[in-house]
Amino acid sequence: MKNKSGFQLKELIIIVVITSLLTSLTTGVIMYNNNRITNHVSGSDLNQDENLKEFLKVYASLIGDYYTDFDKKAMLEEAMKAMFNYLGEDYSDYLNKDETDSLASKLNGTYKGIGVQIVDQNIIYKVFPDSPAAEVGMQVGDKIVTINGEDTSNKTSDEVASLIQNATGEKVALGVLRNDSPIQFEIEVKTLLVPAINYQLVDYGSKKIGYLAISTFSNTVAVQVKGALTNMESQGMDSLVIDLRNNTGGYLAQASEIANFFLEEGKIIYSLAEKDTTEEFRDDTSEKRDYPVTIIMNEGTASASEILAAALKDSYHRNVTLVGETSYGKGKVQQTRSLEDGSMVKYTTARWLRPNGDCIDGVGIRPDVEVELLLPSEGEEVVDTQLKEALRILGEV
């Protein structure tokens, strides 16, 4: 059985699929250990590598003898990309600094702001619960017209968001129009959690069924899930739907932590099949839950969300029913090495296995109850057929 230090070590591994781009990164920095560069290769090993010596000779020749100057950094970036292209594997690649920063920001899990989503014409599209904006009474449809007295009529929504985030002091003064009436707000600017979940309690006959949608496994999603479960359980929740549709992944450690909320101590969450060994990772907590669960999936359910679905299906002591469509099928994990310029390389180091021993790579996880999400014709009411089936199953338990 692995203890918590084992899970902290594996936080160096992250699994994520962003839209159609297959990409992965980690939260941690791989530490050098004396002369060791990785667990398997040392500096002295590299010094004795004849192929590497030949590469460096060519590089030195170009630096010294090529007829014109060139960008050495750009050429080495291309050389690194070529190494990963040679592997011919979807998930191993080189990411420049901008690509690294962009992906990291998507999964950071926090942001500085007031808790609103702004769309075109600087109109508030969403006010997040328990946010500074909600506390002062901002509403959907409010239009931001000034920030600290500065007119925003010619600014984009991104520029308005930046002005709010970078405002000096702890508060920002916003002038808004609500139904053409001007209103002034003074709002605290805080570091907030990026909402990664949506939840509500549904009365279904005599049952109180919880609905929990997880959109991404960001760095703060486990905290958000724990709060949602506690809230719904305090209101008498007796079963739960977990919606993982179009959740393309995130931090492996967060998926493991959420699995810990449900599984009994000692149950397998996943295994890693590396080059020479296979290692199991088990629940090491005393926390567990004891109510029926259904999980909704589709072809956009990938990576960390597949790990959670498989862990609950195979290891939860209550029967878990998978509803919807076969998941994406990403059964590999990546490790990364951060480079000094802020870029990174990522490369596959293992396959992950379900608690039952299966690898889902290229295959996915098949649902127990296959339900297609039917799109309505024009004028018809939208019916979530997959959610409807998940609720029906729990309603009959």
Q: Report the C-alpha gap between 259 and 267 in whole angstroms.
A: 10
Model confidence over 11-20: pLDDT tens digits?
A: 333 333 332 2
pLDDT > 70: percent of the chain: 89
Q: What pLDDT sits at residue 268? A: 98
pLDDT of the residue at 283:
98
Q: How high does pLDDT run on average in the chain?
A: 86
Q: What are the phi and psi torsion angles at 117 (to 5°)?
A: -110, 125
- pTM: predicted TM-score of the whole model, two decimal places: 0.75
Where in 274-357 does DSSP place strands (E)? 278-282, 293-297, 320-324, 332-338, 344-353
Residue corresponding to tokens 């109510």: 291
For residue 176, give both structure tokens: 């808004």
User: Measured between alpha carbons, how far is 213 from 384 in angstroms, rounded to an integer?
Assistant: 14
Backbone angles phi, psi at 56, to 5 degrees: -65, -35
Q: What is the pLDDT of residues 37-61, one digit of tens each?
A: 566 777 788 888 899 999 999 999 9
Lowest mean pLDDT among 74-88, 216-230, 288-302: 74-88
Site of tokens 């029967």: 319
Does 26 have pLDDT greater than 70?
no
For residue 38, what are its two tokens?
A: 């990785």
pLDDT score for 200: 95
Sign of the torsion formed by the C-alpha atoms of 375, 215, 15 and 357: negative
Closest CA to 321 of 259, 370, 261: 370
pLDDT at position 383, please? 85
Q: Report whether pLDDT(22) > 70.
A: no
Lowest mean pLDDT among 171-180, 248-257, 275-284, 372-381: 372-381
pLDDT at residue number 1: 39
Q: What is the pLDDT of residues 324-365, one digit of tens each?
A: 999 999 999 888 788 888 888 888 889 999 999 999 999 999
**Residues 92 and 80 sit within 8 Å (Cβ to Cβ):** no
* Run of H or E residues at 54: helix 50-65
Which is higher by pLDDT, 34 or 180?
180
d(CA 109, CA 335): 20
Torsion angle in degrees (nearest 10) through CA of 99, 333, 194, 240: 150
pLDDT for the residue numbered 14: 35
Contacts of residues 98-105 at CB distance under 8 Å and 24 or more positions apart, as own/partner, are: 99/23, 99/343, 100/25, 100/338, 100/342, 100/343, 100/344, 101/342, 103/16, 103/18, 103/23, 103/25, 104/25
pLDDT of residue 378: 67
Phi and psi at residue 253, in whole multiples of 5°?
Answer: -60, -35
